[in-house]
Structure formats: C-alpha cells, structure tokens
Structure 1
Amino acid sequence: MFSPSIQHLIEEKSGSFLIPASRIAFVQADNPLYHAFLILTKVKYSKIPVLDKDRKVVGLLSLAMITDEMLKVDKISIDPLNELKVQDVMQTDFDKINFVQTTLETQLHLLVDNAFLPVVDDRGIFQGLLTRREWIKAFNYVVHTYDNHYQVQEIKDTNSQSLINTK
C-alpha cells in the first residue's frame, strides 16, 4: 500500500499518465505484415498495439516478432511480409488496464515488466497507453517536490527509527 502522502502527489500527476489513442501508432489485426513492418520502422517504437475493427486491443506487435518470421536457417526472406497478416504474428497474451478501475499500485507493479500498458474503457475500447516513462516522470516529481508539500519529522523510539509525515 502506498503512503497516503506519496499517493496524493502521484495522483496530482496521474492525469498526464495516459497518452491518448489519437497520438498512438497502431496496426489492425488483419493488416498485411509488410504494412506493420513499415509502421514500426517509421515510428521507431519497439512495440505497438494491435486493434480490431471495433478499436479493441487484441494484441501487441514488435519489430522483433516480424523479423523473426523473416529469418530462415540460411537467409533472410521478405516473403512472409507479403504472406502473413499481423494476427498471425502478434502477441495475444498481454496486460491491459482500465485506467479508472486500476489502482496506482497495480499500475506500478504491471509497469515493472511492461514498458507500456494498453488502456481500455468499460467496453474494452482502446483509450491510449500508460507508459513506464510517464510513471517515472511522476515519481521524479514526487521526489523533487515532496518537501514542498509535507514536513517530515524524525521520530525515534527504543525499537526502531522511523519518520512521520505531517501535512
């Protein structure tokens, strides 16, 4: 559980955590793999969301997943780019969150293993991405402004040394 004072400061920045869907590069599950290869190459992201026709997140796709299909035992072939669709290669087991329903603590735990988390609404419609980068920026804000918001007073007792926060 987060310290209430830490949680309060992080929540001050949580509105900036979400990168809206309108600013996110994505591909659709039925796109040809060559299209996804071009998108990933141009946007220079390591991984992007895959959406279906209803704008629901159905997978994630990386350049490494595509190039893995191109690698043969003795050569590199571009044939799979024309033969396969995104849905044939994409990762289908991934974490996603509902921004309103997911606690800050859960978000942080999931971001340990994920550079980003797709965010969906109650109907499963893609809303954007929560990135580890934005979370780190919020943490940076907390550690640099904590003393501007709270007074920390050291309390010593016979068993241990601890600190108490006062607002």
Structure 2
Amino acid sequence: MNIAFFLIPKKEVVYLPIQSTMRQALEKMEYHRYSAVPLLDQEGKYVTTLTEGDLLWKLKNTPNLNFHNTENIRLTEIPFHRKNEPISIQAEMEHIITRAMEQNFVPVTDDKGIFIGIIRRREIIEYCASQMFAPAAN
C-alpha cells in the first residue's frame, strides 16, 4: 500500500523553520503538547526533527541559559541527538515500519526533498493491526 493514503499534509502539521529560536520552539511545542516537531529550511526541505530532549540537553549544557534568554538561541545552535530520516512519498508502507518503532512520526518528502507531511505512528500501527487481523482468504 502506498503511504500517500496515510499522509497528514504539511498544512495540518506543526513544524518550525530551522531559523526559529529555542523559545519559539518551546512555546509552540508546549501549546500543541508535542514532544517533537519537524524542522524545515528556507526552501521547505526537511532538515531534522527537534525533540524535547534536544531542548533539555541544550538547557542543561549551556551555563546561565534559562527560559527568558532562550529567545537568543537559534535552533541551528542546538545539537540534535537523533536524525530522523524522511521517507519518499513513493515508498511503500512496509518500508517505514522500522522507522516508526523509534519515532512518533515519519517525515515524508516529495521527489525534490520538499517536506510534504508526516505519517504518525498511530496510523502505521493501525495498518499493521489490520494486516494481522484481516480475515484469511480461502
């Protein structure tokens, strides 16, 4: 099954430009209650996924950094601890199951690398369950 069926389009996805500040990320993630969001460059290409852990490690490892001065830290200054590779819209569902085991969502790009949306772990699990419990063909 093609993954386009499960795609949540970019216009419905919370994401941030890589040029955003740490404070903007903290506030957006808190508002939407997300633990991770995709980061995009100026051309709309997927760069990486920012996680709460990335933000916490930056706070912990930066002397005198507190919530109020996070507006001075660009996301480009934050070390990312995981690289969530995107998958092409041309991929088949079976190719992304292993990725979903390690991340809440899988970023999806078009043939030019432009971010077009995500597939959430929930939809992947629902697909797998439907395959496992589907009635056997006679």
Q: What TM bracket, shorter-length normalisation?
A: 0.7 to 0.9
How many residues end up aligned between the 2 structures? 137
| Aligned residue number for residue 17 of structure 2 | 28
2:115 partner letter: F
Cα deviation, residue 113, structure 1:
2.2
**Residue aligned with 1:113, SS:** coil
| Aligned residue number for residue 50 of structure 1 | 39
Greater radius of gyration (CA) = 1
TM-score (structure 2 length as normaliser): 0.84
Gaps of 5+ in 1: 1-10, 152-167
Deviation beyond 4 Å, 4+ runs, structure 1 = 72-76
- C-alpha distance after superposition, 1:97-121 (max 9, x if no partner): 1021x23332112222222111000
Deviating more after overlay: 87-96 vs 129-138: 87-96
Q: Residue 88 in 1 paired to residue 77 in 2?
A: yes
| Aligned residue number for residue 64 of structure 1 | 53
| Aligned residue number for residue 150 of structure 1 | 137
Contact 1:70 1:80 in 2 (8 A): no
- C-alpha distance after superposition, 1:69-112 (max 9, x if no partner): 22369987225512211121153732111021x23332112222
CA RMSD of aligned residues (A): 2.5
Gaps of 5+ in 2: none
| Cα distance, 1:90–1:60 mapped onto 2, change above 3 Å | farther
